[in-house]
Structure 1
Amino acid sequence: MDLGNNRFSEKIPAWIAEDLPQLIVLILRSNKFSGSIPWDICKLKYLRILDLSLNDISGTIPQCLNNFTAMADKADSSTDLFEGFYSVFKEHNNYRYIGDYVDSAMVAWKGREYKFGKNLGLLKIIDLSSNNLIGKLPTEITSLLGLVVLNVSKNNLIGEIPQTIGQLKQLESFDMSRNRFSGEIPSSMSELQFLSYLVLSYNNLSGKIPTSTQLQSFNANDFIGNQTLCGPPLTQKCPGEETPNQSLPTENGSTEDDEDNRDEFKKWFYVGAGIGFAVGFWGICSSLILKRSWRHAYFLLLDNMKDWLYVTMAVNKARFWRMFQRQE
């Protein structure tokens, strides 16, 4: 049943589960459905695709989604359910004949919409994105071991990611962005070997991103918007993992440590020079002031030096003047 992209409103009718118990695909995306998800929908145990995205649905996610036993089965029995072509009876002008019908539907797959036909039965999808859902993500959903796509993005969900999320070994696409999830990313998520599309951005997640080849292969943008989340592929280091700042080379080839050492040497050089000058100056001045004989000898030395300089300059001046006159 694909009723997507219409203008249906009000609540999702509960009679769907009563009158169509063998329903395999239920697509109600891009409508105006409101109210909460009816618990009766959990009676659709053969359901493989549930798409309620892009509506105005509120309330919590039912905890009975583990009743979707077809999604809980990891074995692929799609060939028994989807042959691609179905023979159906048609009636025209009182004549009955057999025609062909091809199963096809638009399905959100890894952030984009694709039209699936014959391979529609290979998918096991729960898409509840772009609604007004509140509360926690039920842990019962992790018992759907055959689930391939889980999208609960753009809601108001809170709480932690279920610790048993690693049980969904077949999961290839997981989007829980733009909610209010908190706590650490479960370490079991590193066990999702088929996961090729993961978006956890814009939540309140914290702690270190679990280390695995799978998780570190994603882009940092898939984790942004979580202020206290750290570790690769994010550039933000976790507490205790900060590495000491390495010395960077300056323009002349020296390092910052060398520059720091030079600055330290200059500082102590000037301090030492100042102290030495003060000690020497006051040592000499105090000795001249206190000892009269030294003071007389000092000033006599200055007088002699003055006379020697005067005589030397006078003699050199006269000699230069005579040489100048001879040249004329």
Structure 2
Amino acid sequence: MNGTISESIGQLTELIELDLYGNSWKGVISENLLHNLTQLTDFYLSSTSNSLVFNARHDWIPSFSLETFAIRDCQLGPAFPSWLRTQVGVTDYIILSNVNILDAIPDLFWRSISPRYGLLLDLSHNQLRGELPKSINVGFNASIDFGFNRLEGGIPGSICSLPSLVLLKLSHNNLSAELSFQTFNDPSIYEGNPYLCGPPLTTNCSLGLVDTEDKAEEVEDEDGSEKFWLYVGMALGFILGFWAVCGTLIIKRSWRQAYFRLVDETKDKLLVFIAVYMARLRRKVARQMSKGTNVGQQ
């Protein structure tokens, strides 16, 4: 199905499940469409053309409580939706995959998760930043996918040791750690993280290829170096630009005279404009006062 999604869906106040998956939708969906759907428990949204925008206000508070919340291949980012934390307390099925989120995941989001059954959490194919949470309440038979993001730091042992976690994907991030987990020993879980080492990966930690502290220091040094050269470039640009203009005026007398003549002419024109405008304004005020006096005498 093609085209835009009709706002008339918002009039179906008894609607329980809204499935808009796998079509070539386009346009914008705002919170107005969902405002009256107070009975909604399952929400699925995707667009094969990746041109659909889910545009809810940052301070929006949904009026429903979702058990399933799935958005895929749409434009939701760049900020992580703060209103989502009001939903995750009862949500077992959360998909925000390929929705252009560039933000870090707030800690309040993790603290709000309290699934009734098993959590299915898919945040893959975004550009999420920050670190993995220290702990997640996942329920029974949980699945978590953080693949294809920009997450950094180590892998908390509290996550990988969760007995109820049956599926974990951390591939293609910037994670850095020495792996020592026995539960998840599939190399594909960790591939695409150049700073991970140890079994089940073939990278040998003893070669010194991975060191979290050294990596952090390198990143800080790179950031400091970039800032230093940025400031040097700005200073040089200002100096060169300043003297390119002022130096020319000092050296070339004809240019200096032309510059000051232009300044004087501009000043004179401005003064004349102000004088004419004030004179017109005074005449206008005088006419208004004269009309008011005549009306009062009549």
Query: Is this a same-fold pair by TM over 0.5?
Result: yes
1:209 partner amino acid: L
Name the counterpart of 2:31.
14
Q: Is the 8 A contact 2:25 2:47 kept in 1?
A: no
What's the counterpart of residue 269 of structure 2? Answer: none
What aligned pairs does 1:106-125 form with structure 2 within 5 A after superposition?
Answer: 124-125=92-93
Which secondary structure state, in structure 2, belongs to the residue aligned with residue 66 of structure 1?
helix
What residue identity is the alignment partner of 2:122?
Answer: N
Matched, 1:163 2:182: no
User: In the alignment, what sits opposite 1:176?
Assistant: 146
Label 1:148 to 1:201 Cα distance change in 2 as closer, same or farther (>3 A): same
For residues 278-293 of structure 1, what are the structure 2 equivalents within 5 Å? none
Q: Could you list the runs of 5+ residues in structure 1 that have no partner in the other structure?
A: 73-123, 243-328
8 Å contact kept, 1:170–1:194: yes
1:53 is aligned, of 50, 65, 72, to 72
Residues 191/65 of structure 1: CA separation in 2 closer, same or farther (3 Å cut): farther
Q: Is the 8 A contact 2:31 2:56 kept in 1?
A: no
Does structure 2 conserve the Cα–Cα contact (< 8 Å) formed by 1:130 and 1:154? yes
Residue 12 of structure 1 contacts residue 34 of structure 1 at CA under 8 Å; is this kept in 2?
yes
Match of 1:141 in 2: 109
Deviation at 1:145, TM superposition (A): 2.1
CA distance in 2, matches of 1:38, 1:158: 22
**1:205 is matched by which residue type in structure 2?**
L
- Shift in Å at residue 241 of structure 1? 9.5
Contact 1:171 1:194 survives alignment (8 Å): yes
Whether the aligned pair in 2 keeps the contact of 1:36 and 1:60 (CA below 8 Å) is no
The normalised TM-score by structure 1 is 0.51
Shift of 1:234: 1.4
Q: How many residues align?
A: 187
How far the C-alpha of 1:60 sits from its partner, in A, is: 1.4
Shift of 1:35: 5.5
**Structure 1 position 4 matched with structure 2 position 21:** yes
Larger radius of gyration between Structure 1 and Structure 2:
1
The percent of aligned pairs where both chains have the same amino acid is 29
- 1:234 is matched by which residue type in structure 2? L
Kindly provide the CA deviation profile for residues 2-51 of structure 1, in whole angstroms up to 9, marking residues without a partner as x: 11122332332212442112210011123532254544665245201111
* Residues 1-328 of structure 1 aligned to structure 2 (within 5 Å): 1-30=18-47, 32-34=51-53, 36-39=55-58, 42-68=61-87, 71=90, 124-142=92-110, 143-146=112-115, 148-165=119-136, 167-170=137-140, 172-211=142-181, 213-216=182-185, 219-239=186-206
